[in-house]
Amino acid sequence: MNFSGKTAWVMGASSGIGAELSKQLAEKGAKVILSARNENALNEIKHTLKNEDLHFVFPFDLENTSDVDSKVSSLIGKVGEIHYLFNNGGLSQRATAFETQMVVERKIMEINYFGNIAVAKALLPYMRKQGGGKIIVISSIAGKFGFFLRAAYSASKHALHGFYESLRLEEEENNITVHIMCPGKINTDISKNALTESGEKHGVMDHNQKTGMTVSDCTNEILKAVEKNKREKLIGGKETIAVYIKRFFPNLFYKIIRKQSAV
């Protein structure tokens, strides 16, 4: 299945990786549904897409998914089938576990994990009915190991792996495939939008982000991995090697990771 003539729902399309996914998917001939909270930003991005009139802005807040079934039902009513779900919306953290308030722990889990899986679960019956689909989950290398100032964020991404590895096994017979992407350091506003211990925006472009992979290279890698049906893909620079070091040399991994800068 390639992207031309297909419909792709991009969560978190108002910024960073999601905005670039929308652009590259439109260039490849897909109809894009752009979702996030910031409707103005979504409309601005839609105006820049190839075949602008084909695409569709659908505001969505991952923190409030009590009506997700009716929202997805109305979306399907408008667009017909959805072939790809890019479950990319999320936010990071810049605070120690010691200082992070419980309300912030819960907010990060609600958006990055519960909101994410609620969307996938609401869409599954339609994907089954149409004979299949692809769910692309944007996790992180923080879904592979914990890191300074990221306890809640890392927990939310680890949770996605448990859920989606199980879902992958269960839905294979329904021709629904799951692709988990694990970016490392990517040059987006994620550190600016990350939450502090009290839930404020961190507001700082971290060195790690500024010097990270470009968002267009990251997105290109994501789409190539989906086209090749990769179950999982690490994306980024040399930071991604840490995942292999952890797997094969866990003691060495700990010696290296404790010396890395958190920002």
Ligand X SMILES: NC(=O)c1ccc[n+]([C@@H]2O[C@H](COP(=O)([O-])OP(=O)(O)OC[C@H]3O[C@@H](n4cnc5c(N)ncnc54)[C@H](OP(=O)(O)O)[C@@H]3O)[C@@H](O)[C@H]2O)c1
Element (H, E) at 17: helix 16-27
Provide φ and ψ at 237, rounded to 5°. Answer: -95, -145
Among 24, 209, 219, 240, which residue sits at the site for ligand X (rule: CB under 6 A)? 209
Token duo for residue 150: 């990221």
Provide φ and ψ at 39, rounded to 5°. Answer: -65, -35
- Choose one: 10-18, 158-166, 240-248, 249-257; the region binding ligand X (CB under 6 A): 10-18
* Residue 81 CB, nearest approach to ligand X (Å): 22
- Choose one: 13-21, 168-176, 244-252, 255-263; the region binding ligand X (CB under 6 A): 13-21
**Cα–Cα distances in angstroms (integers) from residue 170 to residues 125, 161, 163, in the given order:** 13, 14, 11
Among 8, 9, 18, 164, which residue sits at the site for ligand X (rule: CB under 6 A)? 18
Residue 141's closest CA among 1, 71, 245? Answer: 245
* Residue 133 CB, nearest approach to ligand X (Å): 20
Q: Does 100 bind ligand X (CB under 6 A)?
A: no
Q: Does 189 bind ligand X (CB under 6 A)?
A: yes
Give residues 101-160 in contact with ligand X (rule: CB under 6 A). 111, 138, 140
SS3 content of the chain, % helix, strand, coil (to 5): 50, 15, 35
Token duo for residue 172: 């294979």
Residues 252, 191: Cα–Cα separation, whole Å: 27
Q: Does 193 bind ligand X (CB under 6 A)?
A: yes
Residue positions annotated with a catalytic role: 153
Among 23, 179, 185, 233, which residue sits at the site for ligand X (rule: CB under 6 A)? 185
Among 17, 135, 223, 234, which residue sits at the site for ligand X (rule: CB under 6 A)? 17
Q: Does 36 bind ligand X (CB under 6 A)?
A: yes
Q: Does 14 bind ligand X (CB under 6 A)?
A: yes
Question: Tokens 């399907």 label which residue?
Answer: 76
User: In the 8-state DSSP scheme, what is residue 158?
Assistant: H
* Residue 141 CB, nearest approach to ligand X (Å): 7
Q: Residue type at 98? A: F
- Interaction site with ligand X (CB under 6 A): 12-18, 36-38, 41, 60-63, 88-92, 111, 138, 140, 183, 185-186, 188-190, 193, 209, 212
